[in-house]
A = this chain, B = another copy of it.
Amino acid sequence: MTTIAVDAMGGDHAPKPEVEGAIRAARNLGVRVILVGREDLVRRELEQHEHDSLAIEVRHASEHITMNDSAARSVRSKRDSSLRVSSRLVREGCAQGFVSAGNTGAVMATAKMVQGVVLGVDRPALSGVFPTVTGLPVVLVDVGANVDCSPRMLAQFAVMGEIYSHMILHRDNPRVGLLSIGEEEHKGNEMTRAATPLLKSLPINFIGNVEGRDIYSGKVDVVVCDGFIGNVALKVSEGLVDMIKNTLQESLESTITGKLGYVLAKPAFTDFKRRLDYSEYGGAPLLGVRGGCIICHGRSNANAIKNAIRVASEFSGGKVNQRIEDEFRRWMTEKL
């Protein structure tokens, strides 16, 4: 049985969604979960739910890292943080991966330092999964772990994203595109122009430049970019979805027929929201660290945590990191 550690103190509303998500995962996914955090708080939350028959354990950690802590400093100074203990459980083989909705910078720094990096990977990359028009998800790598990337790093992101798309999202021969500002090869900046020949030389299905709108168009399965760009793309999308939901609601509430229409179409709106809901996709895997590490949004609900646990479990089952290591050994030593 796969065991996943959950940083129970990470999210904005911890430990409630973490505990609920763990219960749902243990109940429905056949996964063993270790909840890591302040034992009194975690147990109190756990007591709110029926959980006796479930494979859930609590591991005490006396500290936790807040959003205000500096990533680098907190990793070093808070040695008994719930985050660090979670990562240590993976390193020691007690868990096959861990999930955290905490400070993204701190999670990445901890996973890199404690679990270490897959052989051949220069820098782990944070991947995000987005819905598309076709209903099939697209992977964006990197969404914020690395800025000022070298072309070599982008090539590594392409390989890791391709393996992730294939092994976890089950895409055959995933189409990999480079995020730029025009489809033609010469359109872009210094970095994209330098990365193109390298990407072409890889044994992946590289389709060339794609544009921002293609993230949602379904014409590409893996979009590669510098983490600064990917983070902007991710957060622009979040902001726009919030704005659109607000605008739609205001428009619907401004007239009686609008309100009535909304009531009648409620299941359609629920379906619509679910299809846009990030929590269905289960967080962002940090590709290239040993053992799994899935980073969730700070405001993750129980469903998002459950799905992140599912992805962490699939990650270990699919042996993604082993595959990355094998591929890197095979390709990268020659090419990069």
- A: residues with CB less than 8 A from B are 131-133, 144, 147-148, 179-181, 188-190, 211-217, 225-229, 231-244, 246-248, 251-252, 254-255, 257-258, 260-269, 271-272, 275-276
Residues from chain B with Cβ under 8 Å of A232 in the complex: 179, 181, 211-212, 225, 229, 232-233
- Chain A interface main SS type: helix
Known: A252-B268, A267-B255. A133 touches B246 (CB 8 A): yes
Q: Are A244 and B244 in contact (CB under 8 A)?
A: yes
Number of copies: 2
Pairs across A and B, CB under 8 Å, 27 listed: A133-B242, A133-B243, A148-B189, A211-B235, A211-B239, A212-B236, A212-B238, A213-B236, A213-B242, A215-B236, A216-B236, A217-B239, A228-B229, A229-B232, A233-B236, A247-B275, A257-B265, A258-B268, A260-B261, A260-B264, A261-B263, A261-B265, A261-B266, A261-B268, A262-B265, A264-B264, A265-B265
* Shortest CB distance A183–B (Å): 11
Residues from chain B with Cβ under 8 Å of A260 in the complex: 261, 264-265
Q: Which of B189, B211, B251, B263 contacts A275 (CB 8 A)?
A: B251
* Shortest CB distance A142–B (Å): 11
Residues from chain B with Cβ under 8 Å of A272 in the complex: 247-248, 251-252
Q: Are A276 and B264 in contact (CB under 8 A)?
A: no
Alpha-carbon gap, A275 to B215, bound state (A): 23
Alpha-carbon gap, A264 to B236, bound state (A): 31
Known: A251-B275, A261-B262, A268-B255. A212 touches B228 (CB 8 A): no
Known: A181-B144, A228-B229. A271 touches B243 (CB 8 A): no
